[in-house]
């Protein structure tokens, strides 16, 4: 069933499955090759209460797909100086005023590290947050209220508020492999 869903999404788009699984679970009408089709098929399977099984997947892995219902997103910005939209699964470096900010995430442990001018300023452990969400029924592919995916951290002269928009990957025995972690990140420096 996983392969059939992936094929339909990749070839005919999400509209081709909406009548069977429902419009909310199918997502916005679109189609795309590769990762989009795989991630969307995994989200649909999870939303149906089934495990997504990939031909490339090792035994014992579970697909994860968290997404925020972004049409109701209102992220408080008071007290923060910078807003970044990024994929935490890929290291990124940006200029923020006189500072150079680097965000990187260990895609296995889900620890996000923020560095300022080459020095580590803080860490955010998303693994414990993901475990909490999974226990509460998250990860099913059905969009969650955005406040459930907001995490805060503070460190050496820095603070951040992270609102995950989409996170997809796999989990096996408490170890994660993340392919995508789209997020809004608010930053401030003391």
pTM over 0.75: no
Q: CA–CA separation, 60 vs 6, rounded Å? A: 20
The pLDDT-based confidence of 80 (bands split at 50, 70, 90) is very high
In the chain, the largest separation of any two C-alpha atoms, in whole Å, equals 53
CATH class of 70-189: mainly beta
Q: CA–CA separation, 130 vs 128, rounded Å? A: 5
Closest CA to 55 of 102, 21, 6: 6
Query: What confidence score (pLDDT) does residue 73 get?
Result: 63
The pLDDT-based confidence of 93 (bands split at 50, 70, 90) is very high
Closest CA to 68 of 151, 171, 174: 151
The mean of the pLDDT values for the chain is 79
65 compared with 102, residue with greater pLDDT = 102
Query: What confidence score (pLDDT) does residue 186 get?
Result: 92
Query: What confidence score (pLDDT) does residue 58 get?
Result: 55
For residue 50, the 8-state DSSP code is: -
The pLDDT-based confidence of 2 (bands split at 50, 70, 90) is confident
* pLDDT above 90: residue 22: no
Query: What confidence score (pLDDT) does residue 160 get?
Result: 92
Domain layout of the chain by residue ranges: 2-57, 70-189
Query: What confidence score (pLDDT) does residue 102 get?
Result: 93
4: alpha, beta or left? (left if phi > 0; alpha if psi -120 to 50): alpha
Q: Encode pLDDT of 169-183 as tens digits.
A: 777 776 777 888 888
Please give the share of the chain, as a percent, with pLDDT higher than 90.
18
What is the crossing angle of helices 35-47 and 2-12, to 10°? 130
Instruction: For the chain, give percent helix, strand, coil, nearest 5.
Output: 25, 40, 35
37: Cβ contacts below 8 Å, ≥ 6 apart? 6, 7, 9, 10, 31
Q: Encode pLDDT of 120-152 as tens digits.
A: 999 988 887 777 776 665 555 556 666 777 888
């Amino acid at each position: 069933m996983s392969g059939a869903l992936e094929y339909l999404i990749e070839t005919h788009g999400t509209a081709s499955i909406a009548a069977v699984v429902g419009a909310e679970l199918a997502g916005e009408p679109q189609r795309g090759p590769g990762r989009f089709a795989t991630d969307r098929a995994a989200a649909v399977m999870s939303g149906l209460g089934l495990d997504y099984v990939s031909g490339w997947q090792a035994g014992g892995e579970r697909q994860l797909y968290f997404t925020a219902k972004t049409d109701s997103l209102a992220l408080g910005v008071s007290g923060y100086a910078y807003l970044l939209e990024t994929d935490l699964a890929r290291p990124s470096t940006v200029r923020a005023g006189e500072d150079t900010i680097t965000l990187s995430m260990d895609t296995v442990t889900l620890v996000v590290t923020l560095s300022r001018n080459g020095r580590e300023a803080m860490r955010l452990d998303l693994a414990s947050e993901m475990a909490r969400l999974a226990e509460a029924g998250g990860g099913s592919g059905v969009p969650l209220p955005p406040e459930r995916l907001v995490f805060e951290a503070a460190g050496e002269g820095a603070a951040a508020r992270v609102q995950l928009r989409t996170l997809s990957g796999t989990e096996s025995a408490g170890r994660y492999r993340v392919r995508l972690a789209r997020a809004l990140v608010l930053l401030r420096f003391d």
